[in-house]
Chain A
């Protein structure tokens, strides 16, 4: 009787044990597979980009591509494949957007982490995150019908399809990233810093600006760089709002054509498997390297900052 009872008790436990070992292994394998899929997709995209871009350089000199000042792939007279105007445009729009988004972003983050009371924060934070959910087409549309005419009026230019417009819109799109990561960085500054600063007689303002922001600086820098990555890679918005003239940009109030918008606007109609088609993939490769570099640097900075605080 007792034996029977023990057997009955033990047996299911044994099975459970074996079962859990199997599930453990299976789930381990599944998660491993998931990770591998992500890596596989990334590597796949990279390989595809490289192989589609290589044929371009059979016909275009690589130096001419990287340092050429003119992009005119379907010319009536002479085809030109230089991406410098696009690099400059991308740089201008990104710089402009950071000039707008960084101060506002850090300010909002500091407000949320140190000034706002709990209730306000509960209210504001989801709204900031909602900003990230607005489709880029919608923001681009706002750029055409709202921001564009506004810029035209203020700066007294004939139209608002220019780098300023693109910068403003991209700033809006980079804000959620910058705000939420900066806020995390500010919040995870040890309480002791703040208390020590206040105990020494510093005001709240001084504490935030001179103690907390410097302490969270690497996190904030990483936030800004991730925001920058967003701005560089954004396509639809700049395509709609910046005019996309391929000429070398002369001012922030003139039209610009970024790497992304050139690819997007030309790929749809390009003759298949031609020099121009491959050249667009080559631009994609350049863009890939730029965003990869930015993300890598921001990851390193972010990682460093995590180590400092642990």
Chain B
């Protein structure tokens, strides 16, 4: 194929001596050939990654650096949500599914029925930060209080030591991975139906910057950059130590209670190029990027889990 290109290039060079028209036609042909060739080669060994919006920025960055280091490798990363990614994996529309939640039993069964064997890999840890407006005097809460607030049992800030102001809740849409995590790990119940459902982390940050009565949850990466908000310190139980997710060690050691693993799912033992990329993600450089993007590197227990899952 390269040979063909060289010949065409030579031909184009020759045609420079000929009329302008010829040259134009030939160069357009050449461009078209290039485009079609690159798209063909892309399609052959391009890794398709789809899924969680929490993970998309991180995985895009990982893919960018990986492609820089390995010219000739192509990775396409798109979002759409954990459900989209998992559906893509089930239907063999993508090689890797990003998921900020675990795959549900139903989904795993569906995948198996279609001959797909989902394997889970944990690539990073996310501390979920509870944020409020920076003018709100409440800076510390217990996990129990957070649960009460988001279940709608506590309705006014003065019930938890704040001003006399009704609480406005901001969360994610139902069945987003983040929402799922809050329901099953922190609330142990349903969100208040009056909670505003925001389409993504940055919209929650945006809303809380403007709303002095607001409280919401976003990935630590999104909270780090924002200016008009307070990241609330959380204690596991009343009388316990209030810790901030912005401090690295708190999340890694598990002292900060609201954290979760971020996953990727692959089909069975992955192909070489997919495996290569995952090894990069889990390697030193990849985990450095994880940290740069505001997430936390995986602890030993998950490293062992990944090894088992991928089967060396």
Q: How far is the CB of A47 from chain B (nearest CB, A)?
A: 20
Q: With A74-B183, A266-B173, A266-B174 in contact, do A247 and B193 touch (Cβ < 8 Å)?
A: yes
Contact bitstring B162-183, A, C-beta under 8 A = 1, else 0: 0001101000011111011001
Known: A73-B175, A272-B90. A144 touches B80 (CB 8 A): no
A75 at the B interface (CB under 8 A): yes
Tell me if B187 counts as interface (CB < 8 A to partner A): yes
Kindly report which residue of chain A lies nearest to residue B193, judged by CB atoms.
A247
Is A265 interfacial (CB-CB < 8 Å)? yes
Instruction: Kindly identify, within residues 83 to 116 of chain B, every residue whose CB is under 8 Å from any CB belonging to chain A.
Output: 83-84, 86-87, 90-91, 104, 106-107, 110
Q: How many A residues face the partner with a CB closer than 8 A? A: 37
Pick from B82, B83, B196: contact of A255, CB under 8 Å: B196
- Contacts A269-B83, A273-B110: A72 and B199 contacting too (C-beta < 8 A)? no
Chain A residues whose C-beta falls within 8 Å of the C-beta of B166 in the assembled complex: 158
Known contacts A76-B184, A158-B166, A159-B211, A243 near B110 by CB under 8 Å:
no
A75 partner, pick from B107, B190, B195, beta carbons under 8 A: B190
Give the Cβ gap from B106 to chain A, nearest Cβ, in Å. Answer: 6
Of the candidates A77, A148, A244, A273, the one whose C-beta lies within 8 Å of that of B189 is: A77
> Does B15 sit at the interface, judged by CB under 8 A?
no
Note all chain B residues with C-beta closer than 8 A to A161. Answer: 196, 207
Residue A299 CB within 8 A of the other chain: no
Asked whether B80 lies within 8 Å of A159 as measured between CB atoms, the reply is: no
On whether the beta carbons of B83 and A149 are closer than 8 Å, the reply is no
Does the CB pair A272–B175 fall under 8 Å? no
| Complex interface bits, B193-220 against A, C-beta within 8 A gives 1, otherwise 0 | 1111111000100110011111000000
Using A158-B213, A161-B207 as known contacts, say yes or no to A269 and B104 having CB atoms under 8 A apart: no
| Between-chain CB contacts (< 8 Å), 6 pairs | A74-B175, A158-B166, A159-B168, A239-B199, A247-B193, A255-B194
- Residues of B at under 8 Å CB distance from A? 53, 80-84, 86-87, 90-91, 104, 106-107, 110, 165-166, 168, 173-177, 179-180, 183-184, 187-190, 192-199, 203, 206-207, 210-214
Q: A76-B183, A240-B199, A265-B197 are in contact. List 11 more A-B contacts (CB 8 A).
A: A74-B180, A76-B184, A76-B188, A159-B168, A159-B213, A161-B207, A245-B194, A247-B194, A268-B81, A271-B107, A272-B87
